Amino acid sequence: MGRFSAWLVLLIVACSSYGLAEEGEDQTGHYTNTWAVEIHGGPDVADLLALDHDFVNLGQIGNLEDHYLFRHKDVPHRSRREAHHHTKRLGDDKRIQWVAQQVGRDRSKRGPIPQQPRQSDNPAPLTFIDPYWDKQWYLHDTRTSTNLPKLDLHVLPVWRKGITGKGVVVAVLDDGIEKDHPDLKDNYDPDASYDFNDNDDDPQPRYEETNENKHGTRCAGEIAMAANNSQCGVGIAFNARIGGVRMLDGVVTDAVEANSIGFNIQHVDIYSASWGPNDDGKTVEGPEKLARAAFEKGIREGRGGRGSIFAWASGNGGSNGDNCDCDGYTSSIYTVSISSASQQGRSPWYGEKCASTLATAYSSGEYKDQKISSTDLHHACTDSHTGTSAAAPLAAGVLALALEANPDLTWRDVQHLIVWTSEYDPLSSNPGWFQNGAGLWVNSRFGFGLLNAEAMVDMALTWKTVPEKTICEVRLENFQPRTLGNGEEINIEMETDGCQGDSHVGALEHVQVKTTIDYTRRGDLRIVLTSPSGTQTTLLDTRRQDKSQMGFQDWPFMSTHTWGENPQGKWTLTIEDKSDHAENNGVVEDVVLILHGTPEQPAYQSGGRVYTDYNRVQDDRNVDKFAAKPAPASAAETAPAPESEDRVPISEPVDSADSVKIAKTPAKETEFLVNWQDRLAGDGSEFNPENSDPFQPAEPEADTFMDGGDLRPWEAFKYLHRQMKSPTRPRHPAQAYYKPSPLYIRDPSLDIRDPSLDIRDPWPSQNALGESEADLVNYYLQLLGYDP
């Protein structure tokens, strides 16, 4: 094993805090009886030092040279209190460069959720005998008409090229995988597997009545279920090798994460991770020292120097108002952050917004939508895998296809390919899309769009490696701390020439803003970065659950939204308090702008991105080519047309349930969303969703109807529909409902009744409706096919 290069040694310098939780992160979890130490001189020296201090040396931490894990037999394996005297004793020994008592962290599995192309040698239709194949709607086009939206990841044309993941190794970092499962055993790779919870080479999950440890097996099946074996379904890279790293079913420390992230980096090509800090809307946490070093070593040395690939789920905290910009794993420049889209092509209720999301794969949506099919525990199958947990493995499978097509792709090549081939069109009816200064469509919920396997593979076949990376740091000379209070905002301007010289950045990849902010209520802050090209990126949105006074300490907010832009010019960072908490106050202590990119524009970007009409492509079974078209003008203009070109008519408020005649109930989601798009575009002066108070967003450009804490019109619409169609107690929407699903909790600021009544329904009683609210109920009635 080669020694660390100088840059990595500098990265893991001695820590005067003796390894407490990283500054700016929430100190959650419990202390363990293990310590990570940095000792130079080799394993014998480490053994001697362990004995000197009454510890046992458990060995080197993963592939991190000079880093060892010590255990003390007299310290409880789980404690709320730090064993500071042991930490201090080790830290005072001049032969020990760094020490940190290991803390068990909460890590949440991100699912399940309750409720030049080569010519094909075989143009015949692809058929599979696997029983769940017909349920894998996201892998093959199941449309009966090409006028319907296309829902799959465009995989069949890749398989026809003979590209099925051969020679690519994927490891699932999770709670283990059932290595003897009939649909996994033929592709199982023991060299890509280990158990860091029990420290052995068997990743078999621990079985219990609740089947809690099914998560890793489900993720693995999505990637590498064998094809045509009459078992479960078909993996997206069904000839790839699959391994499992068991690390979530036990105490998860920094050392456990580092071991897992850096496991066998010369053998494993892709790591799939569907977990992270709690998605509770109040946690700020990322990888600590050892895990960060493992990421760095992986991208520098993994795959023979081409870099390990990390596919990471973006998070399931949407209903908690969470923001994945506060998750240091999915917002790392080294991970491919993957979000979810439902079968309806919508952002699901659990989806999070953040500037770091790179692309999207399909997963579960609302209760009526199909979910993801895969392997399950006890040699079973499932069609109920959900959340971003299910999206990230699909992305890992697509990336395995690209690596088979071109094994020489670097970790940065892979990210460039994703940005340039992901599809805006199939998700274009969602709000929040905009074009950046390089002409790329991007969205904080979907990144650059839906993964397109064929486009990525075709581009990979003739890919030219992007230029070497450069980093430009922009610091303000003599920066003076800026105070901030309730309802206030500050603007910090930073001018740059892109660091002309050896560190010059002429074309952007990632952008980071590292900042220290002390504040009385962290969740009330909103941070927006504006590039010289005018691209506005929300680096942090408000989080109503986050009442922490810890602020941010050197926290690296990251964005991909300005990918491809020229960074030269004036950048503006806007930090504002969006609350009504009069006592709020704080200080912005420091700001550093970090630009990652290349000295010159990569060759593939010349001429700009040409988008294709993804929704109008012919059935994949015919392998017809897309017709190129210019980039779409706007999300609103590309929304699906309603059954009638006329908007839903406006009428008087509903007086009573007796005044309503029941007609047929057609599918009206399209009309609803088109009218909603009108609100986003600022159309209309009469009553319509765009000017009805309950629809008003918190900010002019916010897509609030998708946020967990705000009114979600389509959810309310469906709720009313279910109430009116109830077989046991059909009710008119003008009535008050006191026991609806807790999913539809209104923002208290929208209630127009006495809050002591604890109304949890999307709408209050008809008798209490104001004029616009009554009009809105009537609007819903018309959408449902009811005529006043």
- Nearest residue to 15 via CA among 75, 73, 79, 96: 96
Per-residue model confidence (pLDDT) at position 365: 83
Q: Is 174 a catalytic residue?
A: yes
Would you place residue 206 in the very low, low, confident or very high pLDDT band (cuts 50, 70, 90)?
Answer: very high
Q: Is 85 a catalytic residue?
A: no
pLDDT band at 341 (very low <50, low <70, confident <90, very high): very high
Structure token digits, residue 229? 């074996």
**Active-site position among 26, 174, 175, 189:** 174
Q: What is the dihedral of CA 326, 332, 333, 334, to 10 degrees?
A: -160
Interatomic CA distance for residues 314 and 336, integer angstroms: 9
Amino acid making up residue 345? G
Beta strands in 86-149 (DSSP E): 96-104, 108-109
- 8 A C-beta contact, residue 61 and residue 102: no
pLDDT for 709: 34
Q: Which distant-in-sequence residues (6+ apart) come within 8 Å of 274 by Cβ?
A: 109, 110, 111, 174, 215, 219, 312, 313, 387, 388, 389, 390, 392, 393
pLDDT at position 507 over 60: yes
Q: Which helix (H) or strand (E) holds 87?
A: helix 84-92
DSSP character at residue 61: -
- Nearest Cα to Cα of residue 68 among 297, 301, 296, 290: 290
Q: What is the pLDDT of residue 780?
A: 54
- pLDDT band (50, 70, 90) for residue 104: confident
Specify the higher pLDDT residue, 507 or 663: 507
pLDDT of residue 787: 45
- Tell me, what's the pLDDT at 344? 86
Collapse the DSSP code of 571 into the 3-class scheme (helix H, G, I; strand E, B; otherwise coil) and give the result.
strand
- Residue 148: the pLDDT is 62
* pLDDT tens, residue by residue, 296-316: 999 999 999 999 999 999 998
* pLDDT bracket for residue 615 (50, 70, 90): low
Chain-centroid distance of CA 252 in Å reads 21
Which pLDDT band, with edges at 50, 70 and 90, does 444 fall under?
A: very high
Select 470-601's CATH number: 3.20.20.140, 2.70.98.10, 2.60.120.260, 3.40.190.10: 2.60.120.260
CA distances from 321 to 354, 365, 440, 479 (A): 12, 17, 27, 33
Going by pLDDT thresholds of 50, 70 and 90, the confidence category of residue 775 is low
Catalytic (active site) residue 17: no
Rg of the chain's alpha carbons, rounded to an integer? Answer: 27
Whether residue 656 is predicted with pLDDT greater than 50 in this model: the reply is no
Over the range 462-474, which residues count as b (16 or more CB within 10 Å of their CB) and which as e? Answer: ebeebbeebebeb
Q: From its phi and psi, is residue 281 left (phi > 0), alpha (psi between -120 and 50) or beta?
A: left
- Band (pLDDT 50/70/90 cuts) for residue 612 is confident
pLDDT confidence of 786, banded at 50, 70, 90? Answer: very low
Give the model's confidence band at 145: pLDDT under 50 very low, under 70 low, under 90 confident, else very high: low
Q: How far is the C-alpha of 370 from the C-alpha of 386, rounded, in Å?
A: 10
Positive or negative: CA dihedral 529, 530, 536, 542: positive
- Where is pLDDT greater, at 89 or 702? 89
d(C-alpha 748, C-alpha 744), whole Å = 12
| Distances, alpha carbon 491 to alpha carbons 31, 223, 572, 588, in Å | 40, 45, 6, 11
Q: Is the pLDDT of residue 285 over 80?
A: yes
Structure tokens at 45: 């020296």
Whether pLDDT at 506 is above 90: yes
Write down the catalytic residue from 108, 356, 373, 389. Answer: 389
| Active-site entry in 67, 215, 416, 561 | 215
Average pLDDT over residues 464-481: 95
Q: How far is CA 401 from CA 213, 355, 584, 614, 688, in A?
A: 28, 26, 51, 20, 47
577 touches 542 (CB < 8 A) = no
Q: Is the pLDDT of residue 742 over 50?
A: no
Quote the CA–CA distance of 288 and 61 in Å, as a whole number: 14
Distance CA 84, CA 35 (A): 11
- Please say whether the beta carbons of 591 and 573 come within 8 A: yes
Residue 783 has pLDDT above 70, yes or no: no
Distance CA 573, CA 437 (A): 17
Name the burial class of residue 60, with classes exposed (0-12), middle (13-18) and buried (19+) by CB atoms within 10 angstroms of its CB: middle
What residue ranges do the domains of the chain occupy? Answer: 6-105, 154-461, 470-601, 657-783
Q: Identify the CATH number of the domain defined by range 6-105.
A: 3.30.70.850
Relative to beta strand 241-246, strand 169-174 is: parallel
- Sign of the four-CA dihedral 497, 500, 506, 512: negative
Map tokens 């005297």 to a residue: 85
* pLDDT number for residue 692: 35
C-alpha 41, offset from chain centre: 41
pLDDT, tens digit, 9 for 90 and up, residues 223-263: 999 999 999 999 999 999 999 999 999 999 999 999 999 99
Helices (H), 578-681: 669-681
**Which one is the CATH code of 154-461: 3.10.20.740, 1.20.120.1200, 3.30.365.10, 3.40.50.200?**
3.40.50.200
Lowest-confidence pick of 110-119, 377-386, 699-708: 699-708
The pLDDT value recorded for residue 191 is: 97
CA separation for the pair 697, 690 (Å, rounded): 10
Name the nearest CA neighbour of 263 among 187, 213, 199, 178. Answer: 199
- Give residue-wise pLDDT tens across range 545-582: 999 999 999 999 999 999 999 999 999 999 999 999 99
Average pLDDT, integer, range 329-343: 96
Whether residue 301 contacts residue 265, with contact meaning beta carbons closer than 8 Å, is answered with yes
Q: Mean pLDDT for the chain?
A: 79
Report pLDDT for 2.
40
